[in-house]
Amino acid sequence: MRNILKRSFLTGILMLFISIVAFASSEKMQQANTAYQQKEYKKAIQLYESLVAEGLESISLYYNLGCAYFQENNLAFSVLYFERAARLDPSNDDIQHNLRVVNSRLVDTIQAVPDFFLKSWFYAFTKAFSLKIWAVISILAFIILLFFIIIYLLSKEIRWKKLGFYLAVFFFSVMILSIAAAQSQYQKRHCTSYAIVFEPTLTTKSSPDENSKNLFIIHEGTKVKIIDDVGEWYEIKIANGSKGWVEKDKIVII
């Protein structure tokens, strides 16, 4: 069962990825899915969260939790789990769509500072495929590269040498780009420098001190980047580039 939530987010249908096979023998996962389908969202959340507490991690588990929390109008947790699903599969259009839907309902609408165009292009390029596919592409490109290097070295005819040389250069470029894309996705998957605000209203401070100057206010569900860590405080940056300090227990790391 894998219906896409493109036209209507609240279809009540779970998206089950291929990775769900790993949970096929899990009675708890089946119970959670059944509870969701029966619109018993609180029960489904409790069961899904128990799987997370057991150390299980999958795109479908996080995605289903994001859907269940949305149904309960718990937007902060919904954003959190959709972001966790996106961290595992940034190229998935369904996850990105649902993130846009949830974010449209948050209090804060922060205009992001545009990245340098080459950085934006490369980020979009890396999202074209999953980490595993980029790894496969890099391995295949390396094997083909070796083949054309051999043609270049062993051929005596000029046309075959030229063909081997140019195609070797091409597949070397493909290999380098795919390795860079795979490394970028790997780093994002294991990155813990982003978090979600879990306070209805959170006032940032100018320094890691409760008595320091107030800076700006952000609200529940807002995504922030952690840039420093001092004691019980994080220095965070929001999408428009503004920075401030918040207490650690006010945000949850993605």
Higher pLDDT, 109 or 65: 65
**CATH domain 18-103 topology:** 1.25.40
Give the pLDDT confidence score for residue 19 in this predicted structure.
47
Residue 14 scores a pLDDT above 80: no
Give the pLDDT confidence score for residue 151 in this predicted structure.
93
- From residue 97, how far is each of 5, 64, 82, 191 by CA, in Å? 8, 14, 10, 22
Q: Is 187 exposed, middle or buried (0-12, 13-18, 19+ CB in 10 A)?
A: exposed
Mean pLDDT of all residues belonging to the chain? 87
Give the pLDDT confidence score for residue 113 in this predicted structure.
66
The residue type found at 202 is L
Same CATH fold assignment for domains 18-103 and 194-253:
no
pLDDT tens, 112-128?
A: 766 677 777 887 888 78
Higher pLDDT, 17 or 77: 77
Helix segments in the chain, DSSP class H: 27-37, 41-53, 59-71, 75-88, 93-103, 117-126, 131-154, 158-189
Higher pLDDT, 8 or 80: 80
CB atoms within 10 A of CB 77: 21
| Cα(236)–Cα(195) distance, integer angstroms | 9
**CATH domain 194-253 topology:** SH3 type barrels. (2.30.30)
pTM of the model: 0.70
| Cα(223)–Cα(108) distance, integer angstroms | 10
Concatenated DSSP letters for 8-67? -S-----B--GGGGGGTT-HHHHHHHHHHHTT-HHHHHHHHHHHHHTT---HHHHHHHHH
φ and ψ at residue 185, rounded to 5 degrees = -70, -35
Residue 164 scores a pLDDT above 70: yes
| Cα(244)–Cα(122) distance, integer angstroms | 29
Residue 143 scores a pLDDT above 50: yes
**In this structure, are residues 221 and 160 in contact, taking their beta carbons and an 8 Å threshold?**
no
Q: How confident is the model at residue 11 (pLDDT cuts 50, 70, 90)?
A: very low
Give the pLDDT confidence score for residue 15 in this predicted structure.
53
Residue 209 scores a pLDDT above 60: yes
Residue ranges per structural domain of the chain: 18-103, 117-189, 194-253
In percent, the amount of the chain with pLDDT more than 90 equals: 66
Counting Cα atoms < 13 Å in the Cβ hemisphere of 191 gives 19
pLDDT tens, 33-75?
A: 999 999 999 999 999 999 999 888 899 999 999 999 999 999 9
Q: Is 159 exposed, middle or buried (0-12, 13-18, 19+ CB in 10 A)?
A: exposed
Residue 137 scores a pLDDT above 70: yes
Residue 183 scores a pLDDT above 80: yes
Give the pLDDT confidence score for residue 55 in this predicted structure.
87
